[in-house]
């Protein structure tokens, strides 16, 4: 398996190489040269596997240049039971009639980002050790990516982390998780701006090949295909668990739909690739918050990112994104994987501030299975309350966005899976507003909010960021 760029200007490269690059060398995003195919018999043969065993099977289609025994060891370390609250790693439970909750927040930072980041931490250290290289991760986070990356990479040999977050736009819990770390290789940078400003800085530095090479820069945002590939695993796991009770002869054609709270389009892109591989997914339902650029795209075919000033600060802050980096990968598929058509679309975006793909609108649902919807603060509060009153289960505001939109797209006879985003303990204010329940810290994180915090505040200034990275970058 080799990987190419959406922009068409990168020579095909193996998995271990693209893990270290993040962005393609021509400024595009890395995609598989071809999407591997699995049939129903092969998927069925995975039913009895543990989560790390299933991860080995799925990732073996993508990490073809890594010996299988080494891949299995990395997956076993990434998804060791000691690092997750739930014994099965990803529990799948009934939330209400026709809707199942896929529990992706059982890891060390209580967010779904752990599922990919724990594997990425193992695989990056493995590849770097064999290539005698260092890697300095530059990242942008609107909430959970940063802590998941830092907990996966803290203390890793040959790796530095420079994680940018928007000042004042994360919850107290999210800030405490990141800023309380004291490892020498972790650098938190609070940018005076919004998430998109942080992300633009990542892209600017990643696109400067001379600076990138000089300081061994890479990314762990969802633009890194290593994360996308690792996230595919739980789509297969969730389908297998959802169909455990289905009669054996009926399983092969049993379709489920999946609702995914989405900001940067990485998580749902993994579902798009799993569906393209052959997993029986009927619909991929994107749930947006008030920053509903992606919902507008899937309803109208017009992609019109908003400015930082027009990006709302909401009670589901990890989705406060108005320019979804990973959408380029999907548009590449939508336009027949043609780099020239993609380039034309991006020129249109640069010149007009939008891309008009309304001619492709019917294919978004009929061919690719996408639907979408928007949730507001009032919707989140009502959904958290109704789920709690009906089942006693507390959900976080991002997952509530997912449940609200999922309810609008449930079809008779088709199970709807909702991907959990984070644990409600990370957002106690909205849980209190919705239910009257005061939830404390999980026992293993008691005292987190009281720890000293370490963060460098910085203007939205590329030159200042470059100087900081040059001073603190890890070298071999």
Sign of the dihedral defined by the CA atoms of residues 140, 142, 143, 145, in that order: negative
Q: 257-300: per-residue pLDDT in tens?
A: 999 999 899 999 999 999 999 999 999 999 999 999 999 999 99
User: 3-83+115-224+464-472 and 92-110+226-435 share one CATH topology?
Assistant: yes
Give the confidence band of 19 by pLDDT, cuts at 50, 70, 90: confident
Q: How confident is the model at residue 351 (pLDDT cuts 50, 70, 90)?
A: very high
Catalytic positions, written as ranges: 113
What is the CATH number that goes with domain 3-83+115-224+464-472? 3.40.50.1100
Window from 57-66, 165-174, 226-235, 439-448 with minimum mean pLDDT? 439-448
Boundaries of every domain in the chain: 3-83+115-224+464-472, 92-110+226-435
What is the pairing mode between strands 99-102 and 92-96?
Answer: antiparallel
**22 to 5, 325, 409: CA distances (angstroms):** 11, 12, 34
Instruction: Give the separation between CA 460 and CA 212, rounded to whole angstroms.
Output: 19
Q: Give pLDDT tens digits for 215-225.
A: 999 877 778 89
How far apart, in whole angstroms, are the C-alpha atoms of residue 126 and residue 145?
A: 21
Pairing relation of β-strands 302-303 and 217-218? unpaired
Q: Can you read off the two tokens belonging to residue 288?
A: 């947006």
The CATH code of the domain at 92-110+226-435 is 3.40.50.1100
Confidence class of residue 170 from pLDDT cuts 50, 70 and 90? confident
Residues 256/242, Cβ–Cβ less than 8 Å: yes
Return the HEC string of 15-77. Answer: HHHHHHHCECCCCCEEEECCCCCCCHHHHHCCCCCCHHHHHHHHHCCCCCCCCHHHHHHHHHH
Q: Are 318 and 113 in contact (CB under 8 A)?
A: no
Question: Mind spelling out the 3-state secondary structure of 60-124?
Answer: CCCCCCCCHHHHHHHHHHHCCHHHCCCCCCCCEEEEECCEEEECCCCCCCCECHHHHHHHHHHHH
Closest by Cα among 412, 17, 59, 51 to 270:
59
């Amino acid at each position: 398996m080799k990987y190419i760029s959406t922009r068409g200007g990168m020579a095909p490269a193996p998995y271990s190489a693209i893990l270290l690059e993040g962005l393609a060398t021509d400024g595009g995003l890395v995609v598989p040269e071809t999407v591997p195919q699995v049939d129903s018999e092969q998927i069925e043969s995975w039913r009895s596997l543990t989560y790390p065993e299933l991860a080995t099977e799925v990732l073996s289609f993508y990490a073809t240049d890594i010996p299988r025994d080494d891949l299995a060891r990395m997956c076993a370390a990434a998804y060791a039971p000691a690092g997750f609250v739930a014994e099965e790693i990803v529990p799948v439970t009934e939330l209400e009639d026709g809707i199942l909750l896929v529990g992706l927040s059982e890891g060390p930072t209580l967010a779904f980002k752990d599922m990919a980041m724990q594997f990425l931490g193992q695989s990056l250290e493995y590849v770097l050790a064999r290539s005698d290289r260092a890697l300095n991760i530059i990242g942008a986070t609107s909430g959970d990516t940063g802590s998941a990356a830092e907990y996966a990479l803290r203390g890793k040999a040959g790796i530095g982390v420079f994680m940018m977050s928007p000042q004042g736009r994360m919850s107290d819990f999210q800030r405490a998780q990141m800023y309380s770390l004291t490892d020498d290789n972790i650098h938190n940078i609070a940018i005076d701006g919004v998430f998109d400003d942080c992300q633009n800085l990542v892209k600017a530095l990643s696109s400067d090949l001379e600076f990138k090479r000089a300081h061994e820069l890479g990314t762990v945002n969802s633009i890194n295909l290593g994360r996308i590939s690792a996230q595919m695993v739980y789509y297969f796991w969730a389908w297998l668990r959802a169909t455990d009770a289905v009669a054996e002869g009926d399983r092969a054609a049993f379709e489920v739909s999946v609702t995914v709270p989405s900001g940067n389009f990485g998580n749902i892109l993994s579902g798009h690739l799993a569906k393209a591989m052959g997993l029986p997914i009927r619909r991929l339902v994107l749930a947006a918050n008030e920053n509903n650029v992606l919902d507008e795209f899937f309803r109208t075919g017009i992609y019109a990112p908003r400015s930082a000033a027009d990006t709302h600060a909401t009670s589901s802050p990890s989705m406060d994104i108005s320019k979804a980096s990973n959408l380029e990968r999907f548009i590449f598929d939508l336009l027949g994987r043609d780099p020239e058509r993609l380039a034309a679309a991006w020129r249109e975006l640069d010149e007009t501030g939008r891309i008009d793909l309304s001619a492709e609108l019917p294919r978004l649902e009929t061919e690719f299975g996408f639907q979408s919807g928007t949730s507001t603060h009032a919707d989140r509060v009502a959904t958290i309350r109704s789920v709690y009153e009906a089942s006693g289960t507390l959900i976080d505001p991002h997952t509530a966005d997912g449940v609200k939109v999922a309810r609008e797209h449930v079809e008779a006879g088709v199970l709807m899976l909702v991907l959990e985003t984070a644990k409600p303990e990370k957002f106690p204010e909205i849980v209190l507003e919705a239910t009257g329940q005061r939830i404390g810290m999980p026992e293993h994180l008691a005292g987190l909010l009281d720890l000293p915090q370490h963060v460098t505040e910085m203007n939205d200034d590329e030159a200042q960021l470059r100087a900081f990275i040059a001073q603190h970058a890890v070298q071999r």
